[in-house]
Chains A and B, each alone.
Chain A
Amino acid sequence: MSDMRMSSTVADARNRARRLFDGAEFDESLEVAERGLAEAPDDVELLVLAGRAGVEAGAPAAVDHLRRATELAPDDAGAWHHLGEALAAEGRMEEADQAFRRTVELDPEDQVALTHLGHTALATGRNEEGVGYLARAADIAHAFSTASVSLVDMYRSFGQYGEALEHARRVAHATADDPLGWLDVAELSLQVGRLDESRTTFDRLRELDDVPGHEAYPLHGMLLVEIRRQRWDAAEDLAGQALTIDPHGLGTDVAAFTRAQHGEAPEGAEPPPTQVEVEQALFSSLADYRRVLADSRRLGAGDIVG
Chain B
Amino acid sequence: MADLATTATRAVSTEWFRCPACQAFVYHKRLKRNLGVCPECNHHFRLKLSERLAQLLDTDSFEERSGDLEPLDALSFVDSKPYTDRIRDAQRKTGLRAGAVYGTGTIDSLPVVVAAIDFAFIGGSMSGAVGEAITRAAELALETRTPLLVISASGGARMQEGCISLMQMAKTTQAVARLAEEGVLFMSLLTDPTYGGVSASYATLGDVLISEPGAHIGFAGPTVIEQTIREQLPDGFQTAEFLLEHGMLDIVEPRENLRRTIRNLLDLHAAAEAARQNRDGGTAAQLPSPEGAAPVTDPAQITVREPWEVVQLARHIDRPRMLDLVGFTFDEFHELRGDRLFGEDAAIVGGLARLGELTVMVLGQQKGHTTSELMEHNFGMPEPEGYRKGMRLMRYAARFKLPLVTLVDTPGAYPGLGAEQRGQSVAISESIMLMSRLPVPIVTVVTGEGGSGGALALATSDRVLMMENAYYSVISPEGCSTILFKDASAAPRAAKVLRITSPELLALGVMDAIVPEPPEGAQTDPAASGANLRAAIIASLARLLQLHREELLAQRYERFRKFGAPGLQPVLPPITGET
**Are A and B a genuine interacting pair, yes or no?**
yes
Chain A residues proximal to chain B, CB less than 8 Å:
55-56, 58, 78, 81, 85, 88-91, 110-113, 115-116, 119, 122-123, 141-146, 149-150, 153, 174-178, 180-181, 207, 210-214, 246, 248-250, 252, 285, 288, 291-292, 294-306
User: Which residues from chain A contact B118 at a C-beta distance below 8 Å?
Assistant: 299
Query: Which of A212, A288, A296, A304 is the one whose CB lies under 8 Å from B120?
Result: A296
> What 12 additional pairs, Cβ within 8 angstroms, besides A115-B4, A144-B9?
A56-B29, A88-B29, A112-B3, A116-B16, A149-B12, A210-B160, A212-B158, A212-B195, A303-B50, A304-B31, A305-B35, A305-B54
A-B interface contact total, Cβ < 8 Å:
181
Are A146 and B223 in contact, CB atoms less than 8 angstroms apart?
no
Are B8 and A145 in contact, CB atoms less than 8 angstroms apart?
yes
Query: Which of A113, A150, A285 is the one whose CB lies under 8 Å from B16?
Result: A150
With A207-B80, A249-B227, A295-B192 as known contacts, state yes or no: A150 contacts B18, CB within 8 Å: yes
User: Which residues from chain A contact B36 at a C-beta distance below 8 Å?
Assistant: 298, 304-305
Distance A174 CA – B159 CA, assembled complex (angstroms): 29
Q: Does B157 contact A (CB under 8 A)?
A: yes
Distance A181 CA – B20 CA, assembled complex (angstroms): 15
Distance A212 CA – B14 CA, assembled complex (angstroms): 26
Are B156 and A212 in contact, CB atoms less than 8 angstroms apart?
yes
User: Which residues from chain A contact B237 at a C-beta distance below 8 Å?
Assistant: none
Are A122 and B54 in contact, CB atoms less than 8 angstroms apart?
no
A selection of 8 A-B contacts at a CB cut-off of 8 Å is A113-B1, A119-B25, A246-B224, A291-B20, A298-B36, A301-B11, A302-B14, A304-B14
Tally chain B residues at the interface, Cβ within 8 Å: 66
Are A85 and B13 in contact, CB atoms less than 8 angstroms apart?
no
Distance A212 CA – B10 CA, assembled complex (angstroms): 23
With A112-B4, A145-B5, A211-B122 as known contacts, state yes or no: A294 contacts B20, CB within 8 Å: yes
B23-48 contact mask (Cβ, 8 Å, vs A): 1 or 0? 01101111111011001000001111
Q: Does B448 contact A (CB under 8 A)?
A: no
Distance A55 CA – B30 CA, assembled complex (angstroms): 10
Chain B residues proximal to chain A, CB less than 8 Å:
1-5, 8-18, 20, 24-25, 27-33, 35-36, 39, 45-48, 50-52, 54-55, 80-81, 86, 89-90, 93, 118-120, 122-123, 125, 154-160, 192-193, 195-196, 221, 223-224, 227-228
User: Which residues from chain A contact B39 at a C-beta distance below 8 Å?
Assistant: 91
Distance A297 CA – B47 CA, assembled complex (angstroms): 10
Instruction: Pick from A55, A149, A210, A285 the residue with the most CB of B within 10 Å.
Output: A210
Are B227 and A250 in contact, CB atoms less than 8 angstroms apart?
yes
List 9 A-B pairs, minimum CB-CB distance, nearest first: A211-B123, A212-B155, A89-B29, A305-B51, A294-B20, A146-B13, A299-B120, A248-B228, A212-B156
Are B192 and A81 in contact, CB atoms less than 8 angstroms apart?
no
Are A299 and B5 in contact, CB atoms less than 8 angstroms apart?
no
Are B224 and A249 in contact, CB atoms less than 8 angstroms apart?
yes
Are B18 and A294 in contact, CB atoms less than 8 angstroms apart?
yes
